[in-house]
Structure 1
Amino acid sequence: MTKPPKAKPLLQDADKPVRSRPRRPRDPTQPNLLLDPMPNRIDPCLALLKPKPPKGPQWAFEVKWDGYRLSVHVEPTGIRILTRGGHDWTHRFPAIQQAALWLPVGTAILDGEAVVLDEQGRSDFGLLQQSLGGRGGKKVSKEAIFMVFDLLYFDGHDLRNSELDVRRHLLEDLVPAEGKGDIRLSEEIEADGDQLLVSACEHGLEGIIAKRLDSPYRSGRVGDWLKIKCVQSDSFVIVGYEKSTAARGQIGSLLLAARKGDGLVYAGSVGTGFKERDALQLRVMMEKITLKTPPLPYTGARKNVVWIQPALIAEIEYRAWTDDGKLRHASYKGLRDVQDNAAIYEVD
């Protein structure tokens, strides 16, 4: 079981033993309800990026977690853990799998995020990547925990048409607040959105999520869920790198691209955030997919550029955009795995 971090502004009562609750016997006076077929897979509801938190009592707030979106299926035959793209990663999260077996429920689909926490209790995408062995790695993560924030199917009943408030009520009964196991509840926070965002940024978090309490669960980016970030972080395609004999891994900077329609457009470069191991792994991967010509229109004046096939997707943190559409103050966070099905940033 994952050990809690030493300092934990987001976590409490870490010394209490983790115990799964006993399964509740069925009340024989309860009528038998028709059962809904259990979906094999559900496309996730995605949060729409907004610059400011929404106002009004119809909105609930949570911390924004920085990891891999997963759905955990508790089925009669066992546990399945699926990525956002539908790939089976059960074998890569054995602790989460075991914790799901202990849940007091016969069948369920839980929606959440696999994360690794730093010593301050903050989710760290780089630490999660390391625990899995990097992009394309085959390692089993012993450090990842599952922060669950929605319940889509529960004991034979499809909950997607139920309001979020109802789904959360059932979820909080299934996964109690302030739990310290490998499946933990992403708690709703009663606060003014603007004040919560300020507090989240002061604690070094990525941002917050706002969700409509009266909304059903709808797949895709439909606006029922909103994300408000402290620092911008998005996925970009690596299209080349600038050689440097002085830099780690001989990578001076990575050249990045965003999507525009059916093609790619140059979005600037990133030259910070690399650890030595990151740079060396990147160099090995990029040397296998080099190109003689740029894979996109490029009119820059950079020297010693090695172009590569647009096959690697990097998560990049940045502060803003320049007037000519380039990233400002960019920092490398890690590579996204293809099976994570990360959404590449799109420009108009």
Structure 2
Amino acid sequence: MSGPLSRYREKRDFTGTREPAGKAPKARAGTALSFVVQRHEARALHYDFRLELDGVLVSWAVPKGPSRDPDVKRLAIRVEDHPVEYGKFEGDIPKGHYGAGHVDIWDCGTWTPDGDPRHGLARGHLRFTLNGGTLKGAWALLRLGKEGKQWLLRKLDDGAIVEGDDAEAPASQAAGRRAPLPATLEPQLATLVDAPPQGPGWSYEVKYDGYRILCRFKQGRARLVSRNGKDWTGRMAVLAQALSALDLPDGWMDGEVVCLDERGVSDFQLLQNALDGRTAELSFMAFDLPYWDGADLRALPLSERQSRLEAVLAAMPEAGPLLMTQRLEVADGTEGRAAWSEACRLSLEGLICKRLDSRYTAGRGTAWLKLKCRPRQEYVIGGYTAPGGSRKHFGALLVGLRKGRKLEYAGRVGTGFSAATLSSLHKKLSALETDASPFDAELPGPGRDGRSAGGIHWVKPQLVAEIHYASLTRDKLLRQASFVGLRDDKPASEVSGEAAVAPADSDATANGKVGKTRITHPARVIIHDPDTTKLDLARYYESAGRLILPHLQGRRIALLRCPDGTDATCFFQKHISGQLPEGLERDGEHLLIRSVEGVLALVQRGVIEFHTWGGRAPHPDEPDRITIDLDPGPDVPWKAVAEGAQLARGLMREIGLAPFLKTTGGKGLHLVAPIRPTQPWETVKGLAHALADELARVIPERFTSNMSKARRRGRIFVDYLRNGNGATAIAAYSARARAGAPVSMPVGWDALESGRDLRGAAYNIRNAMDLAQELGDPWRGYEAARRTVGPRMLKKLGR
């Protein structure tokens, strides 16, 4: 055996390892040369640095990994050349084989030699430029001695240096990137859990009884913004003026506006009094610093952001309006439970637990958790009862929770009111009185809730009340409920309840492990606006597993892969060679997904989007759905898109189909009609084509079935091509590789009546699961709605 790969092949038994044997080396003309750095957890951790040249990967083992600091020279040991195919290898080399251990791609991209690289290698001085995800700019490899295998890898001084850089340091330890001050900022939210997280690496903070507020400083002026984006500067004018007087740099602080009682404990009733015009001093309890003084800090770990926040507040007056949140020293889950018990003994609201290494990510996730001392939740007021005995104004509030467009009754609240509160609240309720009950069903129990003649008053469901309660009955009704105060930082339409969940395994989270799958490069930003990491995406798919699997299982899959994120190259893939990870299987040359672990294994490989065939096993060649893709021109407003969907729905129902609706995560909508798998692709595609032509014929000013971009101007292209053999459509609940990480979301037809624009990132990986819980299953009845495609349908379309 001879040739440049002979030494490589001699060391390996390819019947037992998935490493590629490699094809005969062949230099690629006219294409950029690739490079890859692989993190290799063998007997000793090291990094393999590989440069493509003459059809092979010229390779060095770098024990400590590359450093982007020019003052740091790394030892690099020349090893045998590897096949170019090895640049794509990730996974495990089995025990007993050469190099046994785990291999991940740490960085990759292209490289450009400075001069003749062969001459540089021969003389032991190779200079080159890297263009990778992490490694960029000018570099050099210098051989120690004339013939030895030991080289030095060094970053050269240019604009791509990072002082103190270390390959094993978290990527998020880099300095915050320079960026203009964002006009808006979506807050990070905490998930309610029923126990403290286990393991180290968590910060514990006091949970305050106040209003979540983001403070934007610009040119010395402070603006206060509620968690749902409303400007509250006017409502908290005195506090805003006091914060402005501090003359701080431009930036965003995240915190809670509170009123502290004489014990220094936040009191929501005092806060309500202050906002109603009664004297009370407001304080801003800051706990995060997402942006400051020209730098976007959201990618930094919480520990770093809070250290910077402490440094800012250290220069503030002690008696001023700006305070640092109270933090507790907690080593692990056992100490966390003790801290929680003590917080409850002191009558605090609870604790907030935050991962010290977590980045600031908009929306609700598992990096921030909340532990409550007593059940407390927001409810929508739907009515009130007449007063009894000596009480004035009203007796009890009747409250509920939103479930889609419905308001489900949740019980009555008859305590917690002062005389002043009874009076002020009654005025607000009286202004909202209506004749009809806003609840979706009769209130339970005859004669309950004061329903004698004139004993109950219905109101428009617009006010949100914060309620303490002891527990819930089997019917999910409140027990021992007590009024805390009104909340107007969250609209009534979004009050759907919150259920505590078990905290995630913190050790797995720290190691980038989701389910059974280890996510490499978990902090790599793969989508922007806001920055979304590979780990964020994996966690979304884990939480969405039970919802997305019914749309994937049994269907052939096409994948959109973006291994280095959407800033780099993305490509479609329908096949995977080699051994498949757990949760995947083959259908001939096609790929099928069996479980959530299969989804996560593909996310680990850089998959963002999942697209599915229109047929399902055991009849993959006979489609079981018709998908009509409404693709509007760029100048078509949302209202016209929504109306177009209703018109298309009407035509589909007229010929006997029962379409369901979902967003695409782009600019259009999908109408999906379930059918019985009895017809070949050509018949089903022909019916879809006939539907598109009929819409274009009847309403030509709105629709076109011609895919020409010129014909789409001001119209909606009715795309029927999703129904051909081999054609695919984005799967329901799949994320999209677009700004905001949108999700293709199944919705009810009533969603079109709200006027809300459902395009783009209206549904995204940060809010999709909350909305799915709130809305329920909008596709209930999908299986029962299957129809048989036949000549009668075509005849109704004049075919």
Counterpart in 2 of 1:187? 326
Given the superposition, is the C-alpha separation of residues 100 and 247 from structure 1 closer, same or farther in structure 2, using an over 3 Å criterion?
same
- In structure 1, what residue type is equivalent to 2:303? D
Shift of 1:187: 2.9
Give the superposition deviation at 1:142: 4.6
Q: CA deviation at 1:216?
A: 0.7
- Please name the residue that 1:306 is paired with: 457
Asked whether the 8 Å contact 2:254–2:288 carries over to 1, the reply is yes
How far did 1:63 drift?
0.1
Query: What is the aligned partner in structure 1 of residue 282 from structure 2?
Result: 144
Q: How far apart are the structure 2 equivalents of 1:140 and 1:110?
A: 27
Give deviations 1:255-275, integer Å, cap 9, x for gaps.
010122332100000100011
Instruction: Determine the structure 2 residue equivalent to 1:44.
Output: 187
The DSSP-based 3-state class of the residue aligned with 2:428 is helix
Instruction: Report the alpha carbon displacement of residue 236 of structure 1 after superposing the two structures with TM.
Output: 0.3
Deviations 1:91-120 (A, max 9, x none): 333443344335474212100000001122
2:200 to 54, 57, 79: 57
How many pairs were matched up?
311
Mapped contact 2:271–2:280 kept (Cα < 8 A)? no
In the other structure, the counterpart of 1:200 is 343
Shift of 1:164: 0.6
Q: Tell me if the contact between 1:248 and 1:279 (Cα under 8 Å) persists in the aligned partners.
A: no
In 2, are the aligned partners of 1:129 and 1:334 still within 8 Å (CA)?
yes
Check 1:77–1:119 CA distance in 2 against 1; reply closer, same or farther (3 A cut): closer
CA distance in 2, matches of 1:58, 1:244: 52
Classify the secondary structure of the residue corresponding to 2:194: coil
Task: Give the aligned residue type for 2:284.
Answer: F
Q: Which residue of 1 aligns with 2:476?
A: 325
Distance 2:394 2:177 in 1: 60
Q: Provide closer, same or farther for how the CA distance between residues 159 and 334 of structure 1 changes in structure 2, counting only shifts above 3 A.
A: same
Asked if 2 retains the 8 angstrom alpha-carbon contact of 1:105 and 1:154, the reply is no
Checking the alignment, whether the CA contact within 8 Å between 1:151 and 1:171 is kept in structure 2 is yes
Confirm or deny that 1:168 pairs with 2:319: no
Aligned mates of 2:319, 2:198 — CA distance in 1:
32
Return 178-187 or 54-63, whichever deviates more.
178-187
Deviates more, 1:39-48 or 1:277-286: 277-286
User: More deviation in 61-70 or 84-93?
Assistant: 84-93
Query: Which one has a larger percent helix, Structure 1 or Structure 2?
Result: 2
Contact 1:131–1:143 (8 Å) recurs in 2: yes
Q: How many Å separate the matches in 2 of 1:143 and 1:160?
A: 31
Q: Cα offset for 1:41?
A: 1.3
Deviation, structure 1 residue 244: 1.9
Equivalences for residues 36-115 of structure 1 within 5 A:
36-76=179-219, 78-101=221-244, 103=246, 105-115=248-258
**Alignment partners' CA distance in 1, 2:202 and 2:247:** 29
| Structure whose alpha-carbon radius of gyration is higher | 2
Higher relative contact order (CA 8 A, sep 6+): 1
User: How far apart are residue 247 of structure 1 and its match?
Assistant: 4.8
Match of residue 154, structure 1, among 284, 292, 303 = 292
**Structure 2 partner of 1:264:** 407
| C-alpha displacement of 1:298 | 1.9
SS of residue matched to 1:175: helix
Distance in 2, matches of 1:153 and 1:34, equals 10
Contact 1:70 1:112 (C-alpha < 8 Å) held by counterparts? yes
Give distance in 1, aligned partners of 2:243 and 2:435.
Answer: 49
Kept after mapping to 1: 8 A contact 2:252/2:290? yes
Larger mean Cα displacement after TM superposition, 319-328 or 93-102: 93-102
TM-score (norm 2): 0.37
Q: Residues of 2 paired with 1:276 and 1:253: CA distance? A: 14
* CA distance in 2: counterparts of 1:128 and 1:107, whole angstroms: 27
CA shift for structure 1 position 290 = 1.6
Change (3 A) 1:188 1:77: closer
Aligned equivalents of 2:248, 2:222: Cα separation in 1: 12
CA spacing shift, 1:178–1:326, aligned 2, 3 Å: farther
- How far apart, in 2, do the equivalents of 1:341 and 1:178 lie? 36
Letter in 2 for 1:165: S
8 Å CA contact retained: 1:249, 1:283: no
Aligned to 1:214: 357
* 8 A contact 1:71–1:110 mirrored in 2: yes
**What is the alpha-carbon distance in structure 2 between the residues aligned to residue 287 and residue 263 of structure 1?**
22
Q: TM (normalized to structure 1)?
A: 0.83
Residue matched to 1:278: 421
Residues 1:239 and 2:382 aligned together: yes
Give the conservation status (yes or no) of the 8 Å contact 2:236–2:275: no
C-alpha spacing 1:90/1:289, structure 2 compared with 1 (3 Å): closer
Deviations 1:59-102 (A, max 9, x none): 11000011111111111262211111222222333443344335
In structure 1, distance between residues paired with 2:260 and 2:415: 22
Structure 2 residue aligned with 1:15: none
Tell me how far apart the structure 2 counterparts of residues 312 and 102 of structure 1 sit (CA, whole Å).
34
Partner of 1:334: 485
Q: How far apart, in 1, do the equivalents of 2:466 and 2:458 lie?
A: 19
Q: CA RMSD in A?
A: 2.3
Alignment partner of 2:234: what SS? helix
2:281 partner SS: coil
Match in the other structure for 1:228: 371
Structure 1 residue 128, shift from structure 2 partner: 0.3
Letter in 1 for 2:267: D
Describe the shift of the 1:314–1:286 C-alpha distance in structure 2 as closer, same or farther (beyond 3 A): same
State the alpha-carbon separation in 1 of the partners of residues 426 and 248 from structure 2.
47
- Contact 1:248/1:280 (<8 A) preserved: no
Q: CA contact under 8 A between 2:464 and 2:486: conserved in structure 1?
A: yes
Over 3 Å counting, the alpha-carbon distance change for 1:332 and 1:140 in structure 2 is closer
Identity of aligned residues (%): 39
Q: 2:680 is matched with which residue?
A: none
Structure 1 residues 285-304: aligned runs within 5 Å: 285-296=428-439, 297-300=441-444, 301=446, 302=448, 303=451, 304=455
Per the alignment, do residues 286 and 100 of structure 1 end up closer, same or farther by CA in structure 2, a change over 3 Å counting? closer
